[in-house]
Structure 1
Amino acid sequence: MNRKLSKPNLIESPILLISPFFLWGTAMVAMKGTLANTTPLFLAGVRLLPAGLLVLAMAAILGRPQPKGWKAWLWIGLFALLDGAMFQGFLAEGLVRTGAGLGSTIIDSQPLAVALMSSWLFGEVIGLWGWLGLVIGIAGISLIGLPDEWFLHGLPVQSFLSSFSWQNLFDSGEWLMLLASLSMAVGTVSIRFVCRHADPVTATGWHMVLGGLPLFFLSGIYESQQWTQINPEGWLALGYATIFGSAIAYGIFFFLASKGNLTSLSALTFLTPVFALSFGNLFLSEVLSPLQWIGVCLTLISIYLINQREKIARQLRSWKLIPSFLSSEKAEYR
């Protein structure tokens, strides 16, 4: 009688769930020095198009079906525009104009947008503990990515407002990173609609190929000397970011997003800066400040709260510590 309540082992595997965020975090470390020797749109295209071809080749080997019908290609095209061209393009251009810590903090705030859209579109239950986890997660990645001086001496709000200009908005790295974050959030939610008409693995591959084409086109028009200054170590970093940080990471992430709870999965994005900082410390001798260590701890607490929110609520209800209307018994996966 309980057989239909059991979840697929593939979706529940902790290693599989964490692997995209581990690969994204380590890819950020591998790519850190490469951006100085290349151009942002070319870099974004390299991260997408070759990786998409690898995903499509693997899908063919595995016998995954190709998209059929105009609805499938329409949704894949929209997916490619949002999570492919716009996300990678805004991300690469934003990295040029802002610090890596601040940019990473803005990018990794996208689980909040995913949670709101998933709750509205798919009826995913966030609940008290889920919202608390999201808030703690935002606080954690802020401590990780933002300068310590902002917290010790106050956020520079007045300075930001005095220098703000609508005319120069798209020259702002922070604004471009926010657009990248929103593009990824909408792209993550759209995979559910894509998978109603196409296989998630082949759709991921095609969205990367189609999303990479306009990036290379724009790079050819507006950029020059895209690869002439890249050294062998830089090409190795590009290869790692393409194969592991894009092809494998995106293939796993969007396969899981098509099957599992988007709020819980997207919350694991908070792990990306944790992995980036850890491996930056290991390979680049980057030292974490005490505030950053607090941020790491808060991030891990937030992920636990979000992914265990139903279990926590049921346990507290059984102890009669919270009223039943503050949580829900709805299943985590649909």
Structure 2
Amino acid sequence: MELDCFGTGLDVECLVPQIDNTEQTDRLFQQSSQIYQDTSTSNDDDAAAAAAAAAATPPLPKLISSLWDWALLISPFFFWGTAMVAMKQVLPKAGPFFVSTFRLIPAGFLLIAFASSTARKMPSGTMAWLSISLFALIDATCFQGFLAQGLQRTSAGLGSVIIDSQPLTVAVLATLLFGESIGVVGVAGLVLGVVGLLLLEVPVTNLDGNDFSLWGNGEWWMLLAAQSMAVGTVMVRWVSKYSDPVMATGWHMVIGGVPLVVISVLNHDPAISGSLKELTSTDLLALLYTSIFGSAISYGVYFYNATRGSLTKLSSLTFLTPMFASVFGFLYLGETFSPVQMVGALVTVVSIYLVNYRSNWKI
């Protein structure tokens, strides 16, 4: 007697006619079981063939894809570190506040154009523009202004180490404002961070035998810049409640650059007072690099990485920025650390690592 069976894989059904004979029943049961086994064997063969095809895929495309992912992950920190060197090189000829302005406003418009091309919403409403404006004042105007002032008086590598100590302040602010626990490892990182910053800044004040001047010391300007960046980082949560974060970042660059234009004019920066034509092609390239790569592209790639769920890796790679700044500052500007500063830099980097890697840190 024939069975009418339909379906594939495990979903095979057989229509069994009514029968009275036990021997026929057994025979029909065996026939049904054989159909199931044959179908399962066929599926196993197909799965084995698919696995063999996957194993036969050349490893080169996988390697290229992996390298590209790592390049995207590391590139913002590379751009930020090398932008410090580029800024340091062009500051004397263009003026500190002009360089800050040039780094912010063109990059801001590029980010706004990018956000618009990806259908992100423009900010709207009083609270949106108020939050962006305050964010711009602290994270753009103050940060870039302090950074430019500090770079005139210290090396790019040392300045970058101090700037990238801002996660230590962020950890404290997040604990105070949001009740986030930093854990034992985080506390150890904060203590080490304070020690490292003291080693970076205090010994420099008396190494040359001159009287200490707070406002004339580049490391202190860099510390102010780091605190501005830390406060701006904490403010992002508030700003993001009212605006798209990428669009808000672009507009905060543009708005934050406006006061720096005014300060640049009042400061009679060389580029504003008519010496812009004296800038060489190398100087112009340095300005473009700090704006396009050091701001627009680096922030764009950073946000792209953040949307891919790699925030832990991003935070743990913070120490790469001063590393790149130190290496390229040495290669192009001949900058070096004193022995005490080197110890302070290493202690600070370790502290940043500990704060970023504490187990119960969430942001």
Into which bin does the TM-score normalised by the smaller protein fall? 0.7 to 0.9
Instruction: Return the match for 1:215 from 256, 260, 263.
Output: 260
Q: Name the counterpart of 2:115.
A: 59
How much has 1:49 moved relative to structure 2? 0.3
Instruction: Return the match for 2:282 from 233, 256, 264.
Output: 233
CA separation of 1:108/1:20 partners in 2, compared to 1, >3 Å: closer, same or farther?
same
RMSD: 3.7
Query: Which is higher, the Rg of structure 1 or of structure 2?
Result: 2
Give the residue type in structure 2 aligned to 1:61.
S
How much has 1:171 moved relative to structure 2? 4.4
CA separation of 1:100/1:51 partners in 2, compared to 1, >3 Å: closer, same or farther?
same
How much has 1:277 moved relative to structure 2? 1.5
Instruction: Return the match for 1:202 from 233, 236, 247.
Output: 247
For the pair 1:40 / 2:107, whether they are aligned, the reply is: no
Is the 2:139–2:228 contact (alpha carbons within 8 Å) kept by the matching residues of 1?
Answer: yes
For the pair 1:188 / 2:233, whether they are aligned, the reply is: yes
Q: How many pairs were matched up?
A: 291
- Give the secondary-structure state (helix, strand or coil) at the position aligned to 1:228: helix
How much has 1:142 moved relative to structure 2? 7.1
The runs of 5 or more residues in structure 2 that have no matched partner are: 1-68
How much has 1:263 moved relative to structure 2? 9.8
The TM-score normalised by the length of structure 1 is 0.73
Structure with higher RCO (Cα < 8 A, 6+ apart)? 1
For 1:208-287, what aligned pairs fall within 5 Å after superposition? 208-226=253-271, 227-253=276-302, 268-283=317-332
Provide the identity percentage: 53
Is the 1:114–1:263 contact (alpha carbons within 8 Å) kept by the matching residues of 2?
Answer: no
For the pair 1:176 / 2:221, whether they are aligned, the reply is: yes
How much has 1:36 moved relative to structure 2? 2.0
Range moving further from structure 2, 289-298 or 245-254: 289-298
For 1:303-318, what aligned pairs fall within 5 Å after superposition? 303-310=352-359
CA separation of 1:199/1:111 partners in 2, compared to 1, >3 Å: closer, same or farther?
same
Is the 1:25–1:276 contact (alpha carbons within 8 Å) kept by the matching residues of 2?
Answer: yes
State the Cα deviation string for residues 256-304 of structure 1 (Å, max 9, x = none).
7899899986664433211111233455566678777766765665454
Give the residue type in structure 1 aligned to 2:173.
M
Q: Name the counterpart of 1:322.
A: none
Is the 2:97–2:269 contact (alpha carbons within 8 Å) kept by the matching residues of 1?
Answer: no
CA separation of 1:275/1:137 partners in 2, compared to 1, >3 Å: closer, same or farther?
farther
For residues 158 and 222 of structure 1, the distance between their equivalents in structure 2, rounded to whole angstroms, comes to 29
Is the 2:103–2:287 contact (alpha carbons within 8 Å) kept by the matching residues of 1?
Answer: yes
Q: Name the counterpart of 1:81.
A: 137
Q: Name the counterpart of 2:149.
A: 93
